[in-house]
Amino acid sequence: DPENRLIFATGPFTGTHVQSPANFQVISQNPITDCHLAVANSHGFWGPRLKFAGFDAIVVQGAADRPVYLWVHDGECEIRDASHIWGRADTFQTEDLIKKELGQQRASVAAIGPAGENLCASAMIGNEHGHIAAKGNIGMVMGSKRLKAIAVYGTGKVPVAHPAEFTALARKWRDESFKTHLGAMVNSFGTAGLVPETHEAGQLPTKNFTTGVFPEYETLSGQYVRKTYEMKRNPCYGCSLAHCHTMKVTEGPYKGFVGEEPEHEAMSNLGSLIGVSDAGTVAWLNDYVDRLGLDANWAGSIVSWAIEASERGILSRDALGGLELRWGDEKAAAELIRRIAYREGIGDVLALGLKRGPQEVGGEEAAAFAVHIKGETNHAHDSRANWGQLLGLCIAGAGPRWEAPGRGPRYEVEGRAEAVRNGQINRLFLDTLGVCWFGFASIQTVVETYTALIGWPLDVDEAIVIGERIANVQRAFSVRRGFRPEMDLDLSPRLLEPPPDGGAKGRTIAPHLKGMVQEYNALMDWDWESGKPSRTKLEQLGLPDVARDLWDGCL
């Protein structure tokens, strides 16, 4: 739909001097699930440079009659022809070509690759050679508008209401961020530093979720990577945690390759999930997937399904165009991913999505072991080993993303829906701020720093109301488009099967999941039959227009 808006939005802290102030979000209507928002986060320098150019957000509506890109700089915006780039350049090449064309090497470019041009499911938007807005099939929307890229650059600054107070609080924020578990971990070992603990818990997805054990997991860990390869810090704007690194592979089949250090999600979904145990190989494959413009999570998920389908005889070698898929064969995986991005042969079918693609190939038998939640990629964890996490992915208002962390005992049912609700509301508030998740301080420090930045007071209670308001608007958006709460129970049968081994052996959320989803809806004051937030709740949150739309209209 050309009228589907594509929104690039920063937050109030983007481009300031708090910890990790580089986040921006890309928002639209999900073109695969249709009734959900698409919300994708990215980092790097693009968001701050949009702020320095004098803009908080860009809203794109309609569709161009030819390929174009936007050039946004110091209060101005130009639409430029991209016909010479469309169909000829991947995400990395697009960035380089546009910066050369503009004569501004300090510009930041967010671009789609071949997958976005060809309207593939899980097409993403990449910026700065490795920062990715990946979720919600967001690159499909950008491709449908024939928008190849948005380049941004500016020389302005973010205004601060109370500079001295803000500087002191920003310093306090940075100090606190190093003391959190995640902050300390990513500072030392990157997100792949979490691989050992996720494997021990049974959360490292392995061979399409058929096992909870990957004996070679240590070679995918950040601890191993940081001591084995040549590493160079490559932090996002204003980030002293500096978990992003460039790595030079010093051993194995890709010795000499230089690229971004893979995150935990790439180490799992392009590593253990498809049977690859060499971190250098994962780095090469992750780089290739990023260039094509596909979500690495999704790419690994569809490849792992295809390998299992091949083993089961559902996907023949003829159907694969002569391609022979095996666990651990990154070359075959890369070729299948390339065919998907260019919609060649079997790739044209699999580009329909992780749920619909397998259904087209082999009906319900084939779709039964495609691991998805609501038709979207499960995040790079085996959430059978953490029921709060799995519940949070099921109920997330913008599809299965890290929107609703459900902290607590991993297999505890009582109180888990409340933990997910509270975690979701907190996370949705934090997501508005323009700061990376790894760089947060205490909520009290955050609201005090916000007050110093903006100039009007904000307390913790008001912050929680903001998060709850977002959750309710997301739900109202979905209900208007046909969503009903039962849809949150649409997930792969494999996620309801007990793992045969590993840290979660024998555990299954299956008997409890529907009750937990119902409890979550009750806690949110959302009707189970219609999915609507109650009129009272919407009015309490200062959303009377949404209440009228849902309750006085025809819904």
Whether 555 has a pLDDT exceeding 70, the answer reads: no
Among the listed residues 257, 282, 30, 14, the one whose alpha carbon sits nearest the alpha carbon of residue 152: 14
Type and span of the H or E element at 46: helix 46-52
For residues 451-458, give the mean pLDDT.
96
Instruction: Kindly tell me if the per-residue pLDDT of 162 is higher than 60.
Output: yes
Compute the Cα dihedral for 252, 253, 254, 256 and give only its sign.
positive
The predicted pLDDT at position 118 comes to 99
| Architecture of the domain defined by 178-377 | Orthogonal Bundle (1.10)
Tell me if 6-153 shares its fold with 178-377: no
Q: How confident is the model at residue 1 (pLDDT cuts 50, 70, 90)?
A: confident
What residue ranges do the domains of the chain occupy? 6-153, 178-377, 386-551
Q: What is the per-residue pLDDT for 9?
A: 98
Other CB atoms closer than 10 Å to residue 333's CB: what's the count?
Answer: 29
Quickly state the pLDDT bin for 405 (edges 50, 70, 90).
confident
Q: How many CA atoms lie within 13 A of 45 on its CB side?
A: 17
Q: Taken in order 92, 98, 101, 103, is the CA torsion positive or negative?
A: negative
pLDDT tens column, 378-400: 888 999 999 999 999 999 998 88
Residue 489 confidence class, pLDDT cut points 50, 70, 90: very high
The class level of CATH for 6-153 reads alpha beta
For 31-68, the pLDDT digits (tens) are 998 899 999 999 999 999 999 999 999 999 999 999 99
The residues that bridge with 8 in the sheet, in sequence order, are: 26, 58
pLDDT at 546 over 80: yes
Separation between Cα atoms, residue 49 and residue 538, nearest integer Å: 36
**Percent with pLDDT over 90 in the chain:** 95
Residues 6 or more apart whose Cβ sits within 8 Å of residue 500 = 210, 211, 212
What number is the average pLDDT over the span 267-292? 98
What's the pLDDT at 554? Answer: 56
Q: What is the rounded average pLDDT for all residues in the chain?
A: 96
Quickly state the pLDDT bin for 494 (edges 50, 70, 90): very high
Fold (topology level) of 386-551: 1.10.599
Which pLDDT does position 404 carry in this prediction?
A: 76
CA distances to 15, 57, 96, 113, 249 from 99, rounded to whole Å, are 21, 21, 5, 16, 28
